[in-house]
Chain A
């Protein structure tokens, strides 16, 4: 394995949780998730020369992964919705009913709203979110409030 490849893989390995979360958020079946994972790895490796270390690797990775997931977004078919119930993601963390309800509500969000919400849940600062998404900090705030309001309405 070449040094550059080894360095890239070490970094991806440290932050691969981001890729798994995006796969779960944007794709319903195991096959679709695996496909998206491969796509994201391909795009990350292709874009890696442009990573100059100015931002955190995880932020850069989030940006490329989200762009891949959304730019290649496909409307889920009826079959994939059905499979969602048959193929739950293997969870190592105990989640409550309320959290499960929140997760289901998140699945109803649009691809852009999902991106904003996942960055928020991963504790990214508004400035970082704005940089990843390419919009102003104030717009991030506005959008996040709208999404929270929407989730609240759905859950109540």
Chain B
């Protein structure tokens, strides 16, 4: 095995398909990648539509005549959904932290764990608000109770799997970190 020869071939591959300056400039000006851009667009549209719905609801559906608790519930549901979207959007734009690779991996794993917990909590919170809002003024028959219970189970399951997928990412970072430190 001739590592020295490989070293020189490796170093010479530096000049492999370099990008011209104008392409580098174009990449620099790209705020987000296409896929991320689509995700961001969806979150923004969803948030704008929900805000619009909230304003429209209050005016067009006599929100001022409805009990304050009902309006509060709806506000919480919409606010929670938008907050959840904004939190996801913030995560996309976060830069790397840390002075070296070890610190970057450490911060990244912490960020994944935190993101998982907050995303799951927000998800449960705003879905419970939507569910409560939808069930106010509904006669609690056996069928309705079963439906609400099922919805609750689904919400909890979605929150559980959302959190689990973030925790898995965090664990992957911790595995890399463990390998680096040992």
Contact = CB atoms under 8 A, between A and B. Distances in A.
A3 interface: no
A21 B101 contact: no
Contact of A17 (B15, B25, B27): B15
Contacts of A84: none
A90 B17 CA distance: 7
Provide the main secondary structure of the chain B interface: helix
B27 A37 contact: yes
A133 B6 contact: no
Interface residues of B, number: 42
B138 interface: no
A137 interface: no
Interface string B61-94: 0000000000000000000000000000000000
Contacts of B24: 9, 12-13, 16, 41
A123 B7 contact: yes
Interface stretch (B38-46, B113-121, B174-182): B174-182
Interface residues of A, number: 60
Contacts of A103: 6
B23 to A, nearest CB: 10
Given A16-B18, A47-B95, A134 B100 contact: yes
Given A38-B27, A91-B13, A102-B6, A115 B101 contact: yes
B101 A41 contact: no
B147 interface: no
Contact of A152 (B1, B18, B98, B101): B1
A115 B30 CA distance: 27
B143 interface: no
Interface string B117-143: 000000000000000000000000000
A67 B99 CA distance: 10
A148 B13 CA distance: 21
A16 B2 CA distance: 26
B5 A110 contact: no
B108 A71 contact: yes
Contacts of A45: 28
A96 interface: yes
B96 A21 contact: no
Interface of B: 1-3, 5-7, 9-19, 21, 24-25, 27-28, 30, 32-33, 95-96, 98-105, 108, 172-173, 176, 179-181
Interface of A: 1, 5, 8-9, 12-13, 16-18, 20-21, 24, 35, 37-39, 41-43, 45-47, 63-64, 66-68, 70-71, 73, 89-93, 95-96, 98-99, 102-103, 110-112, 115, 118, 121-123, 131-135, 139, 148, 151-152, 155-156
* A-B CB proximity, top 4 nearest: A17-B14, A134-B100, A134-B102, A67-B104
Given A41-B28, A63-B100, A99-B2, 8 more contacts: A1-B25, A46-B96, A71-B96, A71-B105, A92-B15, A111-B176, A122-B11, A132-B100
